[in-house]
Structures are given as C-alpha cells and as structure tokens.
Structure 1
C-alpha cells in the first residue's frame, strides 16, 4: 500500500500549480490561442517576451513569435545571460513599462523564466529587482505570466521562486504570483539541445523532485508529482542525453512536475549548490546534482521511515529500500552522465570547507530541511562531499535515535 503522507491534524499543506498547461510537439505555435482563450487577452494587446539568446538565435522560437506577432504588439528582449542579475532585469523592466506590457512571456531556461517573473512583478510595483528579495507580497500583484521552457531542468514555470544575482550573490524572491498563469510545454524546443545540457538540466530537475519529497512542507500532491518525476527522469535521462526525442519529451514533463513539487521548498542540496557557485562558476545543474547524494545522506536521520523508503524506491527504480542505495544510485547516474560527483573534481579544495559550512547556515538556511542544518554537522559533511565519501556523509548527522532508512553498513562503527 502506498503512503499518502497526509498532513498532521491541525496543519495545512498547500499545493499550488499553473492554471493551464498546454503540451505537445508544436504547441509553442499555439501560444496566441492560449493568450486569447485562457487570459482573455484582446487583439492588439502588448506582449513582452523575454527570450534565451541561443534558443532565439537558432530560430526555435520563430513559430511562437510569428504566432504572437500576427495578433499582438510584441516586444522581444534577450541578453539575460546564464545568471540574470538585478541590473539586467531592471533594464528589461524599464522597457516592459515603456511598452505598457499586458502580459509577460518567458521563453528559455530557468534564468530567463526567473527574469520574466521579476519583470512581471516590476510591471505592477515600484522599485527594482533588488528591492524584492525574500518572501514578498507585492501590493500591485504580478502581471500575467506565460512560460515556455526550453530545457528539461528548472521547472521554474511552475514555482513561486525567482533567483536573481545581486552584488555577486544569488538571492531568492518568492511569491505565489510567480506561478505562471499558463505554461506551454513543447518538446520540439529541446531538439537542438546538446546532450550535456540535457544531462545537466535533468539532474537539476531530479534534485528538485527528491528534495521536495523530503521537505517537511510537502503535501500529498507534492509526493505524487515528485515520485512520478523521479521515475520519468531515472528512466529517461540517459537516453535523452543521447538525443532520443521521446525521452527528451518525458524529461520535459518530469521537469514540470518537479517544478510543481518544488513549491514545497528545496533543501540543503540547493544551499550547498549555491555555496559551490561562490567557489566555482559551474552550471546550477552540475552543483545541485553533485550535492543531491549528500543531501540525502545528511537528511537520512531526520526522515520518517515511510518517506525514506518512498524516496529510495523511486531513485533505485524499485531495486532498493534504503537511502544508502538511493544516494549510490544518484552517484552512479552522475557517473554515467559524465558529471562530477565530488568537490575535488571541481577544483574546490580543503580551504573552502569552512566557508561552505558557514555560508550554508548563514545565507541559505532551510527551515523545511528534515535534519537541522548546523555548522558543526556541515563541517563533517563538506569534507565528505569533497572526497566523495558517502559513508562519512551518512555519519555526519547520525545521533543513534532512529535510522531514517539507513542500512547497517552505513552506520559508523
């Protein structure tokens, strides 16, 4: 019998998701119909489109932009880069205000969609991106958002969070208004992606699903979506990286489900990923994928047995019941995808251990992390992460009170 993970009596578990999701090959060309039917946007309205330069340059967005231009006044802006900063977002927001945009469309990976979210907020509120950090409740709300992801990783189209770089550090802005009004999932937009990009973004999606499943803020819908996403990614990501079209479509859907699950919040794994980014500039999916096995190990002592089993079975495709198997399965998948599994592979040495431990706790705390994030525990975890020692990672938080699904061989002597 499957566990439902029902909220405790007297508590409330919230699940939010886009109102409309349109999917299918070629669906990006139907976006004008989506704006008309779902957003009731009249002909001639102003549509602001934030785009990924590489995707737009390859011509992949031409059917979508042609469809929009046939009905609406369209303004297209790119130049957001791999990690959008507040200056770039603010400049784009000025342009969106100038054209009096009625709706914002984000077409690209997570960076572009996050930028689109903040532009939509700034359309309805004063200030710049740096004025809207942390959990926010913008008095003017957020302008209507339509998202068209072009990678199979971030799931940003479905989340209440936007990441922005301010003064060189990644910061979060969070509000339920960032969840897109409508989403278009067109697998054709993934056809030209390099295999390594698919692998990296897919690992980001896998980390979203696994961390959401462990989150103390999860709901029954979180578990359902996360478990389904993990199964799709574990079963399809390697083939998708090799170029299989159907596998890529499955990973795109999995990424979206992961994004919906992600509204339960990410955990230590993403905190570690952001700390890694302070030490080395690597794609987010590289750092979040690398951190996932250590996030699982760190949280093993705090997870309920049913949750641990559910996660382990999902990540091992039913071949394992404990979290040691789960963490090893993720590391093995990273190896097959030829992605790094240790901090040492990124050239991050022992001198960074203390910085990472301190920064995780002070700059990226997670109240929803099942095991408390303390500097002392992280001082034990980070060296294990640098060396690739999962046994030491599992030992980092063991207290002897419950095994959280830890196999006997992982317990310290």
Structure 2
C-alpha cells in the first residue's frame, strides 16, 4: 500500500494574520461583525485586554490552566448575558479551547455532554477569533477542544467544523513577556504535537511536511527564546512552529505522549506544556525502534544527531532549564499505577501510536520519569 493511498483533509481558518503588528487589525474586523465582542482569557491576559484595541468590552478572565467543565459553564453563563457578535479567545490553549466551546454552545441550550465527540456541535451564530499569547498548543489552528470532567478526571474532547475560527491573529509581540520556564514548556508542547503526528500510524506526507518544519523551528529557536525573551526572530519562529503543530492535530493528532501526559494535568494540575515535556523523551525513545528513520530525523532537527535517542531528547529539554522529574512537580509515587490505568484507557490516541504500549509499559515510563 502506498503512503499516498489514504485520503486526508486539512481544515484551516479562512484568515490567518501572522506577524508583528497584526493585533492592530482586530478592531476593524470586529467592527465589521457588529462590534459587540466577548473576550475569554486567563487572569493575566484579562489584565491586558486593552491591547486588543476594542475599547470597553466584556471579558471573562477566569479561565484556569487545564480547565474543567465548571470553567466552561461559568464562561458560557457570562457570555449569555452579553449578546456578543464575536467571541475572542485571548491566551493559551485553555482560553482558546473554552472560546471554541462557548462559540458553538451559546444560545443552543445544549450541554457539553450533548455535543462532545466528533461533529455533534450545533452551527454557531457568532463570530470566532483566536489570538494565542503563547507558542505551544496551536489550538488557534484547529477544530478540537478539551476540558476536564471533574467527576471522572478525564479530558472530554469535542470536535466540530463550527469551532474553526473565522480569524486567527498570531502576533509574536504578545509572547515577548512569557517567562523562560513557560516559554520552554509551551515550546516542548508544540514540539510534541509535531513529533507525535510525524511518527503516528496515521502519519501522512501532507502533514509530515508541516510536522518536520515545526520540529526544526523548535530546534532552532526554543533555546534562544528561553535565554532571551526579547528575541523577536526566535519568538516568531516558535509562533510558527506552534501553528504548524496545530495544523498537524486536525487530520493526524497526537499519540502516546499526550495520552501519558494527560493524567499529570487532570490529577495533579501540572500545566500541559510541562506535562508533555516530562513525558516527551521517554515516549520518543520507546517508539524509536518502530519508526527509526523518523526518530533520527527528529534528533537531527533538534541538533542532536548522534548518540542515544533518550539522552538526545532528555538533554534538549533539560538544557532549557526544566525540572524533568515527576517527583519535582509533586506527583506521588503511589499514584503512578492509577495514572497508568487512566492513560492506557485513552484509546483515541494510543491506538495510533507507532508501537503498542501496554499498561505495564506506561507504568514503566512513569517510573523512569519519576
């Protein structure tokens, strides 16, 4: 079977405005849509919403890292009292995911359980703009959103064409104040998106090009941005890498790395980027024998073409100043078996990992990362 035999579809926002100064184009665009905007942000970005140039506007600024259904419900209730013409996600992946869900749920009378899964969301009646302020999740590019169900501690995935933004503004100037540790963690998240799509059983040449370019951009620019946050070229390169990672998520998606990282966020509130960084070297090494050529290409792109795969990936992350131990982030050893059971159950990701990983294999990864 040829690698070109599998059909594939890429969905991307109809308008992507990329580069320094592009934030200034938001206000005229919003005015054409009616002008009543509702901004969804985390607390930090809610404090600088004036940068959007919208004047007095309604803001929900309480989005939490690893948001739960309760966060979504609060944002939806706040939006419902404003009758907005446009929903704007302003922040990292958490804010943008909540913005997607609010945009399709607003006025529908439907709960998350009614729309979760693929292609169940109603058509949206408001505009949707996504403005990332970190270079990591790539959520601005896609049709998928994740929130945590507190009852099960599992991430609930919703996917819909209606959650594709009308406009994406990627202005690297918004990322210049991101602290070094967050820059490092979110950059590895973008890296993980690209690597997992590149090595997935669903990998496709059309997506491989985006994935490998994203990996190369992270390899070239992440350490520079960590060491000098004011390096505009590095920040711009990372913003592009994150967007490419988001493009990879739609038609291919992630695999074992994200499945194993998820319990770190849902159970222990470890930020998504850090969680992926902690797991990334272990999964790359575990999958290496199944995809040797692509693994070698990843190591070359990271500037570490020689030596042991695990040491190359771990060294890349550790050299960014990240604490690479689960224990260092407060994960108790006695919780590792429960985490392994939860991760192993995330079949929507694990079934497409290049190598089959059993529960014992996942537990061994957690033990090695501890």
TM-score (norm 1): 0.80
Query: What's 1:407 paired with?
Result: none
Q: Which of 209, 214, 224 is equivalent to 1:224?
A: 209
Q: Which of 144, 158, 172 is equivalent to 2:157?
A: 172
Instruction: Give the distance between the partners of 1:19 and 1:109, measured in 2 at CA.
Output: 21
**Mean alpha-carbon deviation: is it higher for 184-193 or for 343-352?**
343-352
**Mean alpha-carbon deviation: is it higher for 109-118 or for 290-299?**
290-299
Instruction: Give the distance between the partners of 1:220 and 1:143, measured in 2 at CA.
Output: 35
Query: What's 1:383 paired with?
Result: 367
Instruction: Give the distance between the partners of 1:223 and 1:150, measured in 2 at CA.
Output: 26
Instruction: Give the distance between the partners of 1:34 and 1:179, measured in 2 at CA.
Output: 17
Task: State the structure with bigger RCO (CA 8 A, min sep 6), 1 or 2.
Answer: 2
Query: What's 1:261 paired with?
Result: 248
Where do residues 287-326 of structure 1 align in structure 2 (5 Å cutoff)?
A: 287-303=275-291, 305-316=292-303, 319-320=305-306, 324-325=308-309
- Equivalent residue pairs, number: 364
- Which ranges in structure 2 are unaligned for 5 or more consecutive residues? none
Q: Which of 219, 234, 243 is equivalent to 2:219?
A: 234
- Which ranges in structure 1 are unaligned for 5 or more consecutive residues? 387-413
Q: SS of the counterpart of 2:345?
A: helix
Q: Which of 192, 195, 213 is equivalent to 1:210?
A: 195
Q: Which of 1 and 2 has greater Rg?
A: 1
Query: What's 2:13 paired with?
Result: 18
Query: What's 2:72 paired with?
Result: 89
Query: What's 1:247 paired with?
Result: 234
Query: What's 2:272 paired with?
Result: 284
* CA displacement, residues 92-136 of structure 1 (integer Å, 9 cap, x when unaligned): 223323333232111111111111011011025322334433334
Instruction: Give the distance between the partners of 2:331 and 2:35, measured in 1 at CA.
Output: 50
- Against the structure 1 CA distance between its residues 123 and 216, is the aligned structure 2 distance closer, same or farther, given a 3 Å change threshold? same
Where do residues 65-214 of structure 1 align in structure 2 (5 Å cutoff)?
A: 66=53, 68-69=54-55, 74-123=57-106, 125-141=108-124, 143-167=126-150, 169=153, 170-214=155-199
Instruction: Give the distance between the partners of 1:314 and 1:177, measured in 2 at CA.
Output: 35
Q: SS of the counterpart of 1:231?
A: helix
Query: What's 1:270 paired with?
Result: 258
**What is the Cα-based RMSD across aligned positions, in Å?**
2.5
Instruction: Give the distance between the partners of 2:19 and 2:322, measured in 1 at CA.
Output: 30
* CA displacement, residues 33-59 of structure 1 (integer Å, 9 cap, x when unaligned): 3446xxxx44x34322212321232x3
Instruction: Give the distance between the partners of 1:331 and 1:129, measured in 2 at CA.
Output: 38
* CA displacement, residues 277-335 of structure 1 (integer Å, 9 cap, x when unaligned): 345332111110111111112222433x4433433332336x34x8x43x322211221
TM-score (norm 2): 0.89
Where do 4+ consecutive residues of structure 1 move more than 4 Å? none
**Mean alpha-carbon deviation: is it higher for 161-170 or for 208-217?**
161-170
- Against the structure 1 CA distance between its residues 30 and 128, is the aligned structure 2 distance closer, same or farther, given a 3 Å change threshold? same
Displacement after TM superposition at 1:342 (Å): 3.0
Displacement after TM superposition at 1:255 (Å): 1.1
- Against the structure 1 CA distance between its residues 47 and 328, is the aligned structure 2 distance closer, same or farther, given a 3 Å change threshold? same
Instruction: Give the distance between the partners of 1:222 and 1:187, measured in 2 at CA.
Output: 24
- Against the structure 1 CA distance between its residues 142 and 331, is the aligned structure 2 distance closer, same or farther, given a 3 Å change threshold? farther
Instruction: Give the distance between the partners of 1:254 and 1:184, measured in 2 at CA.
Output: 15
